[in-house]
A and B are shown apart, each in its own frame.
Chain A
Amino acid sequence: MKSIFSTTLVVLLLAGIGLQAADPPSEGSAPDPIKELRSVSKDFLRLSSKSGYSTRLVIAGGMANSKDHKIIDQAVSEDYFGLVRGRLMHMPEQKIFRTLDKGAQLDGDLWRVLQSTADGKKLDRLFSFPERLLMDATMKGKKVEWLESTVGPRKVKRETTRSGTAVGGSSEEEQKIYHRLRVTLPEKVALQYFIEVQNSGCLSGG
C-alpha cells in the first residue's frame, strides 16, 4: 500500500452510552454533546479504576473510494481482546500485561518487553486503551455532535399543573434518545494516529 498521504481525518464514534440518563435535556432540546462527552470520559475512567471492563477490538484497514468509507481492498485485519482494571490491561490469550506505554509478554518461561518483537510492537501501536481515545476526543475534539438515534424515542411521564387550581396531573410524552456521539479530531491528531499505524509495521507485512 502506498503511504503517500495528504489530508488526514480522524473520527471517533461512541454508541450505547447511558448519556441521557446522566443529564436529561429540557423540553425539546438536545443535551450539550461536549458536556456529555466530558461526563462519559470521566465516568469511564472512574469505572475502569473501580471495577474494570473487558474489550474486544477489531481492526480493518485498506482502500476505500466511497464516502461511507467501506473498505474495498483490505490490507490489514486484526482482532484483540483484553481485560482492563485501572491502568493495567491483561491479555490472557497472549499472556501479556500492559500499561499505557509499556508491556510484558511471557515467552516460554521468560517475560520479555512487549515491544521487543514485531508482533508485540504491532499490538502496542494498534491496540490503544479506550481511555486514551476518549481522552483525545475530550481534550482535542474540534467538533462534537449527536448522531441520529438508532432506537425509537422512550415514553416519559411529566407532571403537569393546572393553572388556578392545586390539582395536578401527569401526561406521557415521547423523549428522543441521545446515545450516539461523533467527535472529529484535528488533522494533526489524525496524522499521529496514521503514523502509529505506519510504525506498527502492519502496512509492510511486518
Chain B
Amino acid sequence: MKLELLVLTGMRNQDGKTAKGEAAFSDGVEHVVFRYEYTIDTSEEIDQFRVPVAARKLMK
C-alpha cells in the first residue's frame, strides 16, 4: 500500500500579492512542496516489541 501526503504552500509574489486557491500551485507560480511518500508493507506479522523499562517510563 502506498500513501502520499502532499503539503502545498503558496508564496507571495514580488508585489506582495498571492494567487487564490489552486491558482497558487499552477504552472509558472512558485510554491513550496512537501511530499511524504509512505510505503506500507503488511505482508509479515510484526512481533510484539520488548520495550525496556527505562524507555517505557519516558513514554508514559
Contact = CB atoms under 8 A, between A and B. Distances in A.
Q: Do A and B bind each other?
A: yes
Interface of A: 1-2, 4-17, 47, 51-67, 69, 71, 76, 83-85, 88, 90, 97-99, 102-104, 106, 110-113, 126, 128, 130, 133-134, 190, 193-194, 197
Given A52-B46, A88-B49, A112-B58, A7 B6 contact: no
A87 to B, nearest CB: 10
A160 B36 CA distance: 46
Interface of B: 1-12, 18-22, 24-42, 44-49, 51-52, 54-56, 58-60
A13 B48 CA distance: 29
Contacts of B4: 12-15
Contact of A63 (B5, B32, B49, B60): B32
A60 B39 contact: no
Contacts, number: 184
A113 B56 CA distance: 10
A88 B49 CA distance: 8
Contacts of A67: 25-27
Main secondary structure of the interface of A (DSSP, over half): strand
A190 B1 CA distance: 23
A17 B1 contact: yes
A52 B45 contact: yes
A11 B8 CA distance: 8
A104 B55 CA distance: 5
Given A2-B11, A67-B25, A58 B37 contact: yes
A55 B41 contact: yes
Nearest to B32: A63
Contacts of A2: 11
B59 A57 contact: no
A66 B10 CA distance: 12
A127 to B, nearest CB: 9
A57 B37 contact: yes
B46 A84 contact: yes
A37 B31 CA distance: 29
Contacts of A47: 42
Given A7-B21, A111-B55, A54 B6 contact: no
